[in-house]
Amino acid sequence: MKGGEKMEERGALAWIASILVVIGALNWGLVGLSSFSGISYNWDLVALILGSIPWLASIVYLLVALSGIWLLVKLFK
């Protein structure tokens, strides 16, 4: 986003990328929280939801990573 650009002015790709990055951030936050809690329960939501379909979980992780890179590049343009 440049200057005073509002969220409404962003395209669909920017919205999707932002949502994926937020999902990834929350997921990693839960993974980190579970490691500090002393509970051996895995709070990796993507793995919990898509655990029976590992290739789909891998695609979600890849899309989150690509979204983060894309947003990072746009941030510094």
SS3 string of 6-69? Answer: CHHHCCHHHHHHHHHHHHHHHHHHHHHHHHHCCCCCCCCHHHHHHCCCHHHHHHHHHHHHHHHH
24-72 per-position pLDDT tens digit: 998 888 888 877 766 667 778 888 888 788 889 889 889 999 999 998 8
20-33 per-position pLDDT tens digit: 999 899 888 888 88
Model-level pTM? Answer: 0.70
What is the chain's Cα-based Rg? 15
